[in-house]
């Protein structure tokens, strides 16, 4: 499966923005494990 990772998800993770940081971290963990494909959207 591939997902589109929006810039806000990246910012949620990097800035530890509540309540989204936990979900963003899960997305990046799945990507790192190779269980999830991704595309980044740099224009939002």
Parent domain of 23 = 2-41
Q: Over its length of 44 residues, how does the chain's per-residue pLDDT go in tens digits?
A: 999 999 999 999 999 999 999 999 999 999 999 999 999 877 75
Inter-residue contact 44 to 11 (CB < 8 Å): no
Distance, CA of 1 to CA of 18 (rounded, Å): 26
Which H or E run includes 5? strand 2-6
Structural domains of the chain, count: 1
Task: Write down the pTM of the prediction.
Answer: 0.83
Model pLDDT, residue 42? 73
């Amino acid at each position: 499966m591939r997902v589109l990772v929006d810039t806000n998800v990246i910012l949620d993770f990097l800035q530890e923005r509540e309540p989204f940081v936990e979900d963003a971290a899960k997305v990046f963990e799945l990507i790192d494990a190779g269980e999830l494909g991704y595309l980044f959207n740099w224009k939002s």
